[in-house]
Amino acid sequence: MLTNTALEPAGQDYVTIKGIKNGLVFKLADDVHFDKVLDALTAKLGNGSSPFSSGAKVTAFVDYGNRVLTPEIQDAVEKAFLAVGEIQVKVYQESMVEDEPVPHKLLPKAPYVYKGTVRSGQMVEHDGDVIIIGNVNPGAHIVASGDIYVFGRLRGYVHAGASGNVRAIVAAAYFEPIQVRIATVIRRSPEAYAHPAEMEFAHLEGDQMAVEKMSFLQHFQTLIMSDKAVI
């Protein structure tokens, strides 16, 4: 004869254990009499394969499911754990369980600072930003995977974003380079300048290179940080 009684889970399923970052979650069946669940919990904690048999300090989070948690039930469960050792017992709530650690963002690489004149035939190369406090003479080469800043006259060859960074820039107090390259885009300057451009920087706009006054730099950096920026 059919009845409305739910099938009981097998005894070994009355208590299931799941490891989490900061402890163990004990899931107690909520569709059978509590005495059967308590017997199953006591048996699991008392056998040789108990997660606490090694003596390691572990926090036990108890998930009672839909069972009404009375003081008597909670006390009985805590006593079952205390019989094994000094174990911290908590009622399982998602908010009490620590989130998985978020991987730390890689810190930006430290810039390379060169003080003095970079002379013809010299090369300064760095994985990151390069800062030149001095002049870059014709025939000198500066190569950086990041930005290039020259606090002086830039009259040599510079390659920013050498690893493919299309958001890199080249900036100089006196901007008169022989050649500027950002990522794969190259721009050659005129053979001679009527007068050097003061406080300018080069950047990419799509597959074209643009040179702007330094006063535009902050606005440019705001654009490239925006999801709407197309560089």
- Res. 104 pLDDT band, cuts 50 70 90: very low
pLDDT of residue 12: 52
In this predicted model, which residue has the larger pLDDT, 172 or 96? 172
d(CA 215, CA 201): 10
Percent of the chain with pLDDT over 90: 43
Q: What is the mean pLDDT of residues 30-44?
A: 89
Largest CA distance in the chain: 104
Q: Of how many residues is the chain composed?
A: 231
Segment holding 171, helix H or strand E: strand 170-175
Q: Do domains 11-96 and 112-225 have the same CATH topology?
A: no
d(CA 153, CA 173): 6
pLDDT of residue 87: 78
Ranges 102-106, 141-145, 152-156, 187-191: which has the least confidence: 102-106
Evaluate if residue 204 carries a pLDDT over 80: yes
d(CA 62, CA 74): 9
pLDDT of residue 53: 53
Q: What is the mean pLDDT of residues 13-19?
A: 83
In this predicted model, which residue has the larger pLDDT, 165 or 109? 165
Domain residue limits, the chain: 11-96, 112-225
Q: What pTM, to 2 d.p., does this model score?
A: 0.51
Residue with tokens 């705001």: 222
Q: Which two tokens stand for residue 157?
A: 């060859």
Q: Which residues pair with 125 in a beta bridge?
A: 143
d(CA 74, CA 199): 72
The dihedral over CA atoms of 225, 229, 230, 231, expressed in degrees to the nearest 10, equals: -40
- Res. 91 pLDDT band, cuts 50 70 90: confident
Tell me the CATH number for domain 112-225: 2.160.20.70
Out of 3.30.750, 3.40.390, 3.30.70, 3.40.1350, which CATH number does the structure's domain 11-96 have?
A: 3.30.750
